[in-house]
Structure 1
């Protein structure tokens, strides 16, 4: 077996040419040099809303609802996504506004989409979403919600015009199981990071020393 070729050139972007632009996204032709030194092109989508002074485009909120005499639940949202042509199951999320911290954006989006008020307990580094298609990035923000707090007993969403979001609570210790049950009942697509998180939680609860295996 021949050994893999070693890179001789540091890959880098040469030029980004605008092909088309809309209100929220734009399409560019990216010209770059690959590790072999060859010049190639790529079609790239980008957000038009990216703010120069912040590290990522958006926040994704992993919110855990804690209530007395109840199982801890992950706060999820279900909404119709036109690109998918159906409903999706996602973590609450949203774009970071100008001059807004990641933590502030996460708590604002959580309040708007779910009505819950929470406390930030952790933030991930900047992560990419679909790097073969776009340069879009997000930071995942872990939030704890005190479900016994008065304002969290009957939370009220603060949705904008054209937003239709349904809040779904799924028990943390049955997270993957409940998602699988939902998939059998209706036409819905699960956000990839949600299912990966569900697999990790299932692994942590039931088989911490084994690699996760999906049923065929």
Structure 2
């Protein structure tokens, strides 16, 4: 009898979504009531935010662009953007980014958005797998597209943005995290988690002795 009880106790249900019902919908996003079965076999509900703009040919909503500006005899710079984000109610410091349009690849979207937001033309060197952004709230996904920008190219000497309300901020790759911290102390804005996590990882990789110790 005890063996049967132990077998039942160790048996787990494969969690899965049963159905999704629209609670509210707008032009760009909607709120769903998601009914699912958890690993114990219990049926539960969740509130899920979804974009309405995802294209049928891709599992990705958009791209994040990690663009490095290279110039001869100069330091390398990370290209960031500052813009007002209504959900936050303030300005944010982010990587250039954008949604994938119909019949676009992640690479095409990245180069298009980079040109629109910053004026720079670049070359794609790597594309990440599809990644989730905030899985506890939304099914939104993104891909990181790494881009090299030749700052000595005539097209990049005086870049012209196509979007009016975005400021381009160039921060040196060397000491990237320190420069972000300094910028946040001077300006009233919030840094995107992806930018800051990248800065911490970069610091840990290039100058591990300068990474602040974590208190236990």
Tell me the TM-score normalised to structure 2 length: 0.92
Pair 6,182 (structure 1): closer, same or farther in 2 beyond 3 Å: farther
Partner of 1:194: 195
Alignment partner of 1:93 out of 87, 97, 106: 97
**Equivalent in the alignment of 1:204:** 205
- Tell me, yes or no, if structure 1 residue 20 matches structure 2 residue 20: no
Q: Which residue of 1 is the match for residue 181 of structure 2?
A: 180
* CA distance in 2 between partners of 1:92 and 1:7 (Å): 46
Task: Return the match for 1:40 from 35, 41, 44.
Answer: 44
Moved beyond 4 Å, runs of 4+: none
Per-residue displacement from partner, 1:141-162 (whole Å, max 9, x unpaired)? 0000000000101000112xxx
**RMSD (Å) for aligned C-alpha atoms:** 1.8
The match for 1:145 is: 149
1:67 aligns with one of 34, 53, 71: 71
Report how far residue 55 of structure 1 moved.
2.2
Q: Counterparts of 1:42 and 1:106 in 2: how far apart (Å)?
A: 32
Contact residue 81 and residue 88 of structure 1 kept, 8 A:
yes
Cα pair distance change 1:50/1:38, threshold 3 Å: same
1:112 alignment partner in structure 2:
116
Q: Structure 1, unaligned stretches of length 5 or more? A: none
**Corresponding pairs, count:** 208
Higher gyration radius (CA): 2
CA distance in 1 between counterparts of 2:122 and 2:213 reads 33
Distance 2:153 2:57 in 1: 35
Task: State the secondary structure of the residue aligned to 2:174.
Answer: helix
Any idea what SS the aligned residue of 2:175 has? helix
